[in-house]
Structure 1
Amino acid sequence: MKMTGLCTNLVLVAFISASVADVGDFTPCLQFFYKSWPPKGLAGTPICQRYNNMYQFATLYSRPRRSAWFSAYLYSVPTGKRPKASWKYEPQLAYPSADGNMVPFLPGPVDMNIVESQAVSLDYINSTFSRGHLNPSLHHQTYQCRSATFTLTNVVPQKRWSNDGPWEVLELTVNKTMATYCLGEAYIVTGIMPYQKEEHWMKNRVAVPEYLWSAYCCPNYNQSIPDRLKDAFPTFAAIGRNDPNSTEEIVPIDKTAKKEYRGYDVKQMSLDSLEMYLKDRFNTVISVFNEQCG
Structure 2
Amino acid sequence: MLGLLLLQVFASCLWLGHSEVVTSFESCPQFFYAHHYPNDVLHPQNPAWICQHYRNQNHYATLYDRQKRIPVYSAYIYQPGNGTESPVSFVEPQLISQTYAKKMDTEESVEDQYNINLELISQSQAIKEDYNKLQDLECCPLSPSGHQSGNSNKWATATLTNIVPQNRALRQGSWKHYEETTMPQKTQGCDTTYVITGAVPGNSSISNGRVNVPSHIWSAACCLVDTNPTRAWGAIAENDKDEVEHLMLGELESWLAELYGGRMVNLFNNACPRE
Q: TM-score range by the shorter chain?
A: 0.7 to 0.9
Q: Does 1:138 align with 2:142?
A: no
Output the TM-score relative to the length of structure 1: 0.78
Does the C-alpha gap of structure 1 residues 27 and 127 become closer, same or farther in structure 2, counting only changes over 3 Å? same
Does the 8 Å contact 2:25/2:61 carry over to 1? yes
Does the C-alpha gap of structure 1 residues 85 and 265 become closer, same or farther in structure 2, counting only changes over 3 Å? farther
SS at match of 1:112: helix
Q: Does 1:75 align with 2:78?
A: yes
Does the 8 Å contact 2:73/2:196 carry over to 1? yes
Question: Equivalents in 2 of 1:17, 1:234: separation in Å?
Answer: 42
- The number of equivalent residue pairs is 247
How far residue 127 of structure 1 moved from its aligned partner, in angstroms, is 1.8
Unaligned runs of 5+ in 1: 1-14, 222-231, 244-262
Paired position in structure 2 for 1:186: 193
Does the 8 Å contact 2:141/2:163 carry over to 1? yes
Q: Identify the match of residue 290 of structure 1 among 265, 269, 273.
A: 269
Q: Does 1:214 align with 2:222?
A: no
Question: Equivalents in 1 of 2:16, 2:93: separation in Å?
Answer: 11
Does the 8 Å contact 2:93/2:104 carry over to 1? yes
Does the 8 Å contact 1:215/1:271 carry over to 2? yes
Does the C-alpha gap of structure 1 residues 239 and 179 become closer, same or farther in structure 2, counting only changes over 3 Å? closer
Paired position in structure 1 for 2:15: 18
Does the 8 Å contact 2:187/2:223 carry over to 1? no
Does the 8 Å contact 1:22/1:28 carry over to 2? no
Question: Equivalents in 2 of 1:60, 1:275: separation in Å?
Answer: 17
| Percent of residue pairs bearing the same amino acid type | 33
Kindly report which structure 2 residues correspond to 1:3-152, keeping only aligned pairs within 5 A, or say none. 17-18=14-15, 21-40=20-39, 41-43=41-43, 44-80=47-83, 82-106=84-108, 110-128=117-135, 129-152=137-160
Does the C-alpha gap of structure 1 residues 23 and 130 become closer, same or farther in structure 2, counting only changes over 3 Å? farther
Q: Identify the match of residue 278 of structure 1 among 238, 256, 262.
A: 256
Output the TM-score relative to the length of structure 2: 0.83
Paired position in structure 1 for 2:206: 202
Does the 8 Å contact 1:240/1:266 carry over to 2? yes
Question: Equivalents in 1 of 2:67, 2:101: separation in Å?
Answer: 22
Does the 8 Å contact 2:86/2:154 carry over to 1? no
State the one-letter code of the partner of 1:264.
D
Question: Equivalents in 2 of 1:288, 1:215: separation in Å?
Answer: 8
Paired position in structure 2 for 1:251: none
Kindly report the root-mean-square deviation, in angstroms, between the aligned alpha carbons of the 2 structures.
Answer: 2.4
Does the C-alpha gap of structure 1 residues 125 and 237 become closer, same or farther in structure 2, counting only changes over 3 Å? same
How far residue 86 of structure 1 moved from its aligned partner, in angstroms, is 1.2
Moved more, 158-167 or 63-72: 158-167
In the TM superposition, what whole-angstrom CA distance separates every residue of 1:158-210 from its partner, at most 9, and x where no partner exists?
12111111101000124412553212x21000001223xxx211121001101
SS at match of 1:150: coil
Paired position in structure 2 for 1:242: 239
Does the 8 Å contact 2:230/2:272 carry over to 1? no
State the one-letter code of the partner of 1:142.
G
State the one-letter code of the partner of 1:234.
R
SS at match of 1:39: coil
Question: Equivalents in 1 of 2:82, 2:252: separation in Å?
Answer: 30
SS at match of 2:27: helix
SS at match of 1:126: coil
Question: Equivalents in 1 of 2:159, 2:233: separation in Å?
Answer: 26
Question: Equivalents in 1 of 2:271, 2:247: separation in Å?
Answer: 14
In the TM superposition, what whole-angstrom CA distance separates every residue of 1:218-272 from its partner, at most 9, and x where no partner exists?
1217xxxxxxxxxx951010001211xxxxxxxxxxxxxxxxxxx3200101011
Paired position in structure 2 for 1:11: none
Select the structure that is richer in strand. 2
State the one-letter code of the partner of 2:235.
A
